[in-house]
């Protein structure tokens, strides 16, 4: 995840340019899509014909937040496609060169040598000699050892480029980039930057000066009100001296087809998007990471004309085409016709406020009520319309003193933008009549009139525990005894994948597997029974998902989900951090990891051979482990966790949960575990899980006689 996070007021810019997820293309699946490239057989790309006369003299590409670890990462494959698509487009143009390629930080996940080598191998295999490579450091380049900033600097200078800051002149155009020093610190760059900006302006005062740093300048482009450089004011003061500055920044992972990603005041700024995963502003019910967040593969192709006009064209690698405006009628492009004359600028606060209109639903729009339970309801409604782009919806439900407020993105970042949206509203009271109001909000936070409806929740369901598999105890989800082999799932549906097998192990926050993950069945569990043995050959964060399917017949409905009880064997090993959780039927993930800094976040341990439960406490990050002052080294026996402490993880499943909301169901789709090894545990060390149960009282072991 990103580093420095500062909560502030939402960006309040306004806009006159239509944008966001238009076009009649098909959105890719959660797995990496196959893209074909621009058709180079045409003499001129149809996407750019509509932009008018523009005699290109210079072309460059800007990307950021690639987060590459290996050549097999989804983002690594997208990086390779970036070059193919850009060159294919350039070949259709009269000016057919790509002069420079700029990577604005977070090239890697952890700044490891092998990650730099993976990134460089992709670039070297796909970049033409005509294209100048320019990079700077982001905060993730320090993540291998945040306690030693020199470690991160040395990793970059030894494996990527010996120079931290860059002033490169390419065909007469000045590129000036500064590297962050850890989490958003640019204090050591300011004097150097001031001098080099002056030199570039003195060389040619008419051409654009292309500048870049990983973190945004505060209160400029989209998400910069929350994610920004520590020295934003100082950086802004330096850039503001030169109206010809084009500044590119990343870090936030905000979609670049949001018009607020281009902003002008004294110079022009662009947010650069990501090839990895979306993360956006706070305030949404599912947090800053929306469902399907890994469907993010965006960058800019920027062109400069002979008369120094500029057009920055957001490109979507998942459709392999330029982004379209909101109505899909034309290509989305950010244009600057005169770098010196600010009165002509289109992306200032004043110019955008002048024409912005309120979003509105069509007159015949209606809410459709779908699956209803005692605590949730599924609603579907058509998207509102807007002159710019609908950003999100506020949904307010009122019923018998029970008021719930939900906020969801419109999914404007997908192309095409879906015509209807379906959300499951959870945490409702049983047998209650509710009125519902849905307020559309545009990308500049202007709210329109609500769409209204009503629904009634169902009565609470009484559940008796029944197991289709032979089990020892009432409340057992699985004890592995009925499995002769494990059926691996191709993904997990908490992060947009599929739950089509017994088990998924790999990247904790995506549907991508990890070849370092390992698991097997062995007879070393409770009383020598079958159990799950788990390990990883790396020290990275891991996610383990155990599912209920028709094939494995694991129980998925329970009389009570008060406690998750698990038999474990952690002999000769320990975790740096670990936690358990539950997966809701909608794929929403609930874990203790979301209950940060809760003072009474307890868990319990019954050592093998003992009849006395011991009480422990999760640490500040809602985890147990050595870093959380709650080591479980050598534990063997039963552990129990209050499910009331499992709260919704933003960006998972349907996005139905509310941040901080406790697990609301008596039905589950599976059990989850997050973990990584402690510094004293060897990679590859195995641990054992068995007898996963959901019970009313963790101290009571009731024999199952079903």
pLDDT for 295-312, tens place per residue? 999 999 999 999 999 999
Instruction: Give the whole-number percent of the chain exceeding pLDDT 70.
Output: 92
Q: Which residues partner with 378 through β-bridges? A: 424
Q: Is the peptide bond before 416 cis (omega within 30 degrees of 0)?
A: yes
Residue 289 binned pLDDT confidence (cut-offs 50, 70, 90): confident
Residue 570 CA to residue 689 CA, distance in Å, equals: 9
* Residues with Cβ within 8 Å of residue 376, at least 6 apart in sequence: 424, 425, 426, 427, 428, 457, 656, 664
pLDDT digits (tens, 9 = 90+) for 20-78: 665 433 333 333 333 333 343 333 444 445 556 899 999 999 999 999 999 999 999 99
For residue 479, the model assigns a pLDDT of: 97
pLDDT digits (tens, 9 = 90+) for 450-494: 999 999 999 988 899 999 999 999 999 999 999 999 999 988 889
For residue 143, the model assigns a pLDDT of: 86
Q: Taking the model in full, what pTM does it have?
A: 0.72
For residue 208, the model assigns a pLDDT of: 98
Angle between helical axes of 74-90 and 113-126 (0-180°, round to 10) = 20
What does the chain come to in residues?
706
Q: Which is more confidently placed, 652 or 103?
A: 103
Residue 442 CA to residue 259 CA, distance in Å, equals: 11
For residue 368, the model assigns a pLDDT of: 98
Residue 546 binned pLDDT confidence (cut-offs 50, 70, 90): very high
Residue 566 CA to residue 606 CA, distance in Å, equals: 10
Q: Which residues partner with 63 through β-bridges? A: 103
For residue 50, the model assigns a pLDDT of: 52
Beta strands 368-372 and 268-271: pairing type? unpaired
Q: Which residues partner with 399 through β-bridges? A: 402
The residue written with tokens 């929403």 in the block is 588
Residue 4 binned pLDDT confidence (cut-offs 50, 70, 90): very low
Residue 22 CA to residue 25 CA, distance in Å, equals: 8
Nearest Cα residue to 239 out of 190, 294, 308, 309: 190
For residue 52, the model assigns a pLDDT of: 65
For residue 36, the model assigns a pLDDT of: 34
Residues 528 and 686 sit within 8 Å (Cβ to Cβ):
no
Residue 511 CA to residue 499 CA, distance in Å, equals: 10
Q: Which residues partner with 360 through β-bridges? A: 385
pLDDT digits (tens, 9 = 90+) for 83-140: 999 999 999 999 999 999 999 999 999 899 999 999 999 999 999 999 999 999 999 9
Residues 694 and 644 sit within 8 Å (Cβ to Cβ):
no
Distances (CA, A) of 179 to 122, 185, 482, 593: 22, 9, 55, 32
DSSP H helices, 349-445, are 349-353
What rounded mean pLDDT belongs to the chain? 89
Residue 177 CA to residue 166 CA, distance in Å, equals: 5
Residue 630 CA from chain centroid, whole number: 29
Residues 154 and 141 sit within 8 Å (Cβ to Cβ):
no
Beta strands 209-213 and 166-170: pairing type? unpaired
Residue 292 binned pLDDT confidence (cut-offs 50, 70, 90): confident
pLDDT, mean of residues 259-271? 97
Does pLDDT of 234 surpass 90? yes
Residues 658 and 285 sit within 8 Å (Cβ to Cβ):
yes
| Residue 177, helix vs strand vs coil | strand
Instruction: Give the whole-number percent of the chain exceeding pLDDT 90.
Output: 74
* Cα end-to-end span (Å), the chain: 46
Long-range contacts of 399-403 (CB under 8 A, 24+ apart): 399/428, 399/429, 399/432, 399/433, 399/434, 399/435, 399/457, 400/429, 400/432, 400/433, 402/428, 402/429, 402/432, 402/434
Residue 627 CA to residue 683 CA, distance in Å, equals: 17
For residue 51, the model assigns a pLDDT of: 56
DSSP H helices, 402-545, are none
Residues 94 and 135 sit within 8 Å (Cβ to Cβ):
no
Residue 375 CA to residue 77 CA, distance in Å, equals: 42
| Residue 89, helix vs strand vs coil | helix
pLDDT, mean of residues 499-508? 89
- Is residue 136 within a helix (H) or strand (E), and if so which, with residue range? strand 132-136
Residue 67 CA to residue 1 CA, distance in Å, equals: 10
Residues 619 and 629 sit within 8 Å (Cβ to Cβ):
yes
Residue 72 CA to residue 75 CA, distance in Å, equals: 8
pLDDT digits (tens, 9 = 90+) for 618-639: 999 999 999 999 999 999 999 9
Residue 277 CA to residue 297 CA, distance in Å, equals: 8
| Ordered structural domains, the chain, with CATH | 55-353 (3.60.21.10), 368-456 (2.60.40.10), 476-695 (2.60.120)
For residue 26, the model assigns a pLDDT of: 33
pLDDT, mean of residues 417-435? 92
What residue ranges in 346-418 does DSSP mark as E strands?
A: 368-372, 377-382, 390-399, 402-409
Dihedral sign for Cα atoms in the order 590, 594, 600, 605? positive
What residue ranges in 596-657 does DSSP mark as E strands?
A: 602-607, 614-617, 636-642, 647-648
| Residue 125, helix vs strand vs coil | helix
Residue 700 CA to residue 431 CA, distance in Å, equals: 32
Nearest Cα residue to 477 out of 568, 582, 374: 582
pLDDT digits (tens, 9 = 90+) for 161-220: 999 999 999 999 999 999 999 889 999 999 999 999 999 999 999 999 999 999 999 999
Residue 468 CA from chain centroid, whole number: 38
């Amino acid at each position: 995840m990103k580093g420095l996070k500062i909560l502030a007021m939402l960006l309040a810019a306004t806009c006159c340019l239509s944008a966001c997820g238009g076009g009649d293309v098909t959105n890719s699946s959660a797995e990496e899509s196959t893209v074909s490239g621009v058709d180079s057989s045409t003499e001129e790309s149809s996407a750019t014909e509509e932009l008018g006369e523009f005699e290109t003299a210079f072309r460059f590409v800007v990307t950021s937040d690639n987060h590459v670890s290996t050549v097999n990462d989804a983002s690594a494959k997208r990086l390779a496609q970036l070059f193919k698509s850009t060159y294919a487009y350039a070949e259709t143009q009269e000016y057919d060169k790509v002069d420079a390629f700029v990577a604005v930080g977070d090239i890697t996940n952890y700044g490891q040598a092998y990650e730099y080598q993976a990134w460089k191998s992709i670039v070297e295999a796909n970049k033409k000699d005509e294209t100048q490579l320019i990079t700077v450091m982001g905060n993730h380049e320090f993540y291998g050892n945040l306690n030693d900033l020199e470690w991160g600097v040395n990793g970059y200078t030894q494996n990527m480029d010996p120079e931290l800051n860059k002033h490169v002149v390419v065909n007469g155009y000045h590129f000036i980039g500064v590297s962050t020093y850890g989490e958003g610190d640019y204090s050591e760059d300011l004097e150097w930057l001031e001098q080099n900006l002056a030199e570039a302006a003195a060389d040619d005062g008419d051409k654009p000066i292309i500048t870049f740093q990983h973190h945004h300048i505060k209160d400029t482009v989209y998400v910069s009100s929350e994610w920004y450089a520590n020295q934003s004011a100082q950086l802004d003061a330096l850039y503001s001296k030169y109206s010809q500055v084009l500044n590119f920044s990343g870090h936030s992972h905000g979609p670049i087809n949001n018009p607020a990603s281009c902003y002008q005041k004294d110079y022009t700024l662009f947010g650069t998007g990501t090839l990895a995963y979306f993360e956006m502003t706070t305030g949404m019910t599912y947090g800053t990471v929306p469902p399907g967040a890994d469907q993010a593969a965006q960058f800019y192709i920027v062109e400069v004309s002979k008369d120094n006009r500029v057009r920055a064209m957001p490109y979507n690698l998942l459709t392999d085409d330029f982004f379209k405006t909101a109505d899909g009628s034309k290509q989305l492009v950010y244009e600057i016709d005169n770098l010196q004359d600010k009165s002509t600028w289109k992306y200032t606060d004043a110019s955008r406020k002048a024409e912005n209109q309120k979003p509105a639903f069509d007159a015949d729009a209606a809410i459709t009520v779908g699956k209803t339970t005692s605590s949730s309801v599924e609603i579907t409604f058509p998207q509102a319309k807007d002159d710019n782009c609908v950003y999100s919806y506020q949904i307010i439900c009122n019923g018998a003193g029970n008021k719930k407020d939900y906020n969801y993105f419109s999914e404007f970042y997908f192309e095409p933008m879906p015509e209807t949206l379906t959300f499951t509203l959870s945490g409702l009271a049983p047998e209650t009549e509710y009125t519902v109001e849905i307020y559309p909000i545009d990308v500049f936070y202007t709210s329109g009139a609500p769409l209204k409806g009503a629904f009634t929740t169902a009565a609470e369901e009484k559940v008796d525990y029944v197991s289709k598999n032979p089990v020892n105890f009432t409340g057992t989800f699985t004890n592995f005894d009925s499995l002769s082999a494990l059926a691996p799932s191709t993904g997990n549906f908490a992060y947009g994948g599929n739950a089509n097998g017994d088990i998924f192990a790999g990247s904790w926050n995506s549907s991508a597997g990890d070849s370092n993950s390992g698991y097997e069945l062995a007879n070393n569990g409770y009383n020598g029974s079958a159990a799950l043995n788990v390990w990883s050959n790396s020290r990275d964060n891991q996610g383990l998902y155990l599912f209920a399917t028709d094939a494995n017949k694991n129980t998925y409905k329970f009389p009570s989900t008060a406690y998750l009880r698990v038999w474990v064997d952690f002999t000769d090993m320990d975790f740096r951090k670990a936690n358990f959780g539950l997966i809701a039927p909608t794929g929403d993930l609930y874990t203790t990891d979301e209950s940060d800094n809760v003072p009474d976040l307890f868990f319990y341990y019954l050592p093998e051979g003992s009849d006395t439960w011991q009480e422990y406490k999760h640490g500040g990050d809602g985890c147990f482990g050595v870093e959380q002052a709650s080591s479980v080294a050598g534990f063997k026996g039963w552990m129990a966790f209050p499910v009331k402490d499992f709260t919704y993880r933003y960006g998972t499943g349907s996005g139905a949960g509310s941040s901080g909301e406790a697990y609301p169901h008596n039905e589950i789709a599976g059990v989850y575990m997050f973990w990584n090894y402690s510094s004293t545990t060897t990679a590859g060390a195995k641990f054992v899980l068995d007898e996963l149960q959901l019970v009313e009282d963790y101290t009571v072991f009731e024999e199952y006689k079903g």
